[in-house]
Structure 1
Amino acid sequence: MQLLSWIIFPAVCLMLITCPSHESLKENTDSKAFKQLITQAESYVKEETTPPDAYLQKFDQDENVQLLKAALNQIGYDLELSDFYDEELTWAVTDFQIQSENASISGIYDEATKEELLSYFKEDKNIEPGEGLAHPPEEPEVTEAGTEVVGNPYDELALVNKSFALPENYIPEDLMVPDVPFPFTEDLPKKYMRENAAHALEDLFDAAEDAGLELFAQSGYRSYDRQVEVFSANASQHGEDYANTFSARPGESEHQTGLAMDVTSAEVNLELVTEFGETEEGKWLAENAPEFGFIIRFPEGKEDITGYQYEPWHVRYVGEKAAKYVTEKGITFEEYIEQFDK
């Protein structure tokens, strides 16, 4: 590891200078004293390398990212010590979270993940990389339609669209029902969202209520199999090409991520229609959603980029940092990913 080499390298150089021959060098490196030096160096590095006290996510770039990579390397990973939060680090964090007891699975380095990592240091434990989430293959899998399959579906910043599909068997492990109004009472799968998104939606709806507005959650999580039914019905009625302007093919729906929710109001009879964007609720949602980590995923005028019609009712959870950036810049999630993905 790079940090370890900074300590061991000077010691080896000293031996090269002081040892008159190859034989004596070999004797020194085989010696008990040299092995003890290595052990002490390893112990020193582990003591000095601690998980950073920072909130970090994909595309961040600073010294804390490098510290996080060094900390993960100490428990068994082999990450290049750059200062950029790349896909490789996102995979490692996700894999670690899946193998941990108390961290939420998101690919984001948060307080709970830091505490879990600290416990590994305190207990001197190591991890088996890839045991929780297999390392994405060098050559991505593709669907029958030729769409690239997302290697890390747990990533809260995963791009899911007509170019990137979720695995057919992906079902989020942390689905829950947010405590918000629904226009139906049945316990249906579409009430569910992933935990972080669900709590953020609760805060969003509370803020809307404080503003004197009433929002309703209409449709959240949707399984791959359910999307097969939905898209087949739309394709039968409208033709596959036209249907794909407003309905996603199986695997390509954000609803399968558990991070999306369709929102409506009584002003449009609880329907999912573009007129919702002209209501007080729709305008408030577009303006305030980023404060709670949501974006209007399919904005007006960006159909050629997103591949879908304008949907003022469809919000996607991406976290506050990304949501504010996307909204302030007036860009799509596709453009955000393209801008930062290196």
Structure 2
Amino acid sequence: MTEEVCPGDGGCSQGFQGGTLTGRAATGVTVSYYQPGEYQRVINKRNPLSPIDYMPSDTVNVAGHPLRYQAALAFWRFVDAAAASGVATTVVSGFRSYASQASLFQNYVAIYGQEQADTISARPGYSEHQSGLAVDIGNPSAVCGLQECFASTAAGQFAAAHAHEFGFVIRYPAGMSYWTGYAYEPWHLRYVGRDVAMDMRNRGVSTLEQYYGYPPAPTY
């Protein structure tokens, strides 16, 4: 993204998409990753929301589910584009408060036990839904709702092929639980903005952890 700069201190640096490389004879090459912005915050088992009971102030109603305003605008465009392609989508879940997430998580613990619950649901304060930037989508028929087979439905296929064009990423992709800490969720879209979503797609980077140079977050 920038020309190489060598200021005379024995090292040279150059800006790339995602960060800066700096090379020095004594220390080798180091990477400084660009920090995520407001809409790109990395929320996972090692990075809770701050404050822990965070509640966004700019949510709007999207089919009965709150989303932050910018995410809602992008999602409406996504829905319109899907409809123009003959694909109908529904909203299953959007923003959840700290208290709502706590109740949901404890319900999963009661059903599946703590270990399995931690792979399919976030603890309160650690959920992307609490940020107001995540939306779970489904089909009007409810076929494969919140199941891995959603990926094979028309809505799931449209999301996989086009979500990045509207600023969304499939936050918990297949085979990446080591990085994200969660099982595959083809229905869970996270708004990060079009520039970042397109760049991740073009570079073949599938998780925010890898994109921003965060360590894997398989556990709390």
Provide, for residues 129-182 of structure 1, a one-character-per-residue CA deviation record: whole Å limited to 9, x for no partner: xxxxxxxxxxxxxxxxxxxxxxxxxx111100100001223110101013xxx4
Deviation at 1:304, TM superposition (A): 1.3
| Counterpart Cα distance in 2 of 1:336 and 1:284 | 23
Q: How does 1:196-235 map to 2 (within 5 A)?
A: 196-235=70-109
User: Which structure's relative contact order is higher, taking Cα pairs within 8 Å and 6+ residues apart?
Assistant: 2
Deviation at 1:268, TM superposition (A): 4.2
CA contact (8 A) 2:143 2:150 kept: no
Which 4+ runs in 1 deviate beyond 6 A?
none
Against the structure 1 CA distance between its residues 244 and 206, is the aligned structure 2 distance closer, same or farther, given a 3 Å change threshold?
same
| Counterpart Cα distance in 2 of 1:204 and 1:310 | 21
Q: Give the secondary structure class of the aligned counterpart of 2:212.
A: helix
CA contact (8 A) 1:192 1:221 kept: yes
Q: How does 1:100-115 map to 2 (within 5 A)?
A: 107=37
Against the structure 1 CA distance between its residues 230 and 255, is the aligned structure 2 distance closer, same or farther, given a 3 Å change threshold?
same
Q: Which residue of the other structure, out of 25, 36, 40, is the alignment partner of 1:157?
A: 40
Partner of 1:139: none
Against the structure 1 CA distance between its residues 269 and 279, is the aligned structure 2 distance closer, same or farther, given a 3 Å change threshold?
closer
Deviation at 1:231, TM superposition (A): 0.7
Q: How does 1:70-81 map to 2 (within 5 A)?
A: none
Against the structure 1 CA distance between its residues 238 and 206, is the aligned structure 2 distance closer, same or farther, given a 3 Å change threshold?
same
Q: Give the secondary structure class of the aligned counterpart of 1:218.
A: strand
CA contact (8 A) 2:151 2:187 kept: yes
Q: Give the secondary structure class of the aligned counterpart of 2:145.
A: coil
Aligned length: 185
| Counterpart Cα distance in 1 of 2:194 and 2:48 | 24
Letter in 2 for 1:285: A
Q: Which residue of the other structure, out of 205, 213, 218, is the alignment partner of 1:338?
A: 213
CA contact (8 A) 2:54 2:125 kept: no
Partner of 2:61: 177
Against the structure 1 CA distance between its residues 320 and 227, is the aligned structure 2 distance closer, same or farther, given a 3 Å change threshold?
same
| Counterpart Cα distance in 1 of 2:170 and 2:34 | 25
Q: How does 1:1-342 map to 2 (within 5 A)?
A: 87=35, 107=37, 155-166=38-49, 167-178=51-62, 182=63, 187=64, 191-269=65-143, 271-328=145-202, 329-338=204-213
Provide, for residues 278-310 of structure 1, a one-character-per-residue CA deviation record: whole Å limited to 9, x for no partner: 112211111100000000000001111111000
| Counterpart Cα distance in 2 of 1:322 and 1:300 | 20
Deviation at 1:327, TM superposition (A): 2.4
| Counterpart Cα distance in 2 of 1:85 and 1:192 | 32
Structure with greater proportional strand content: 2
CA contact (8 A) 1:292 1:320 kept: yes
Deviation at 1:60, TM superposition (A): 7.3
List gaps (5 residues or longer) in structure 2.
1-16, 21-31, 215-220
Structure-1-length-normalised TM-score: 0.51
Percent identical pairs in the alignment equals 38
| Counterpart Cα distance in 2 of 1:60 and 1:336 | 10
CA contact (8 A) 2:89 2:155 kept: yes
List gaps (5 residues or longer) in structure 1.
1-57, 62-83, 91-106, 108-154
Structure-2-length-normalised TM-score: 0.78
CA contact (8 A) 1:296 1:316 kept: yes
Deviation at 1:323, TM superposition (A): 0.7
Structure with greater proportional helix content: 1
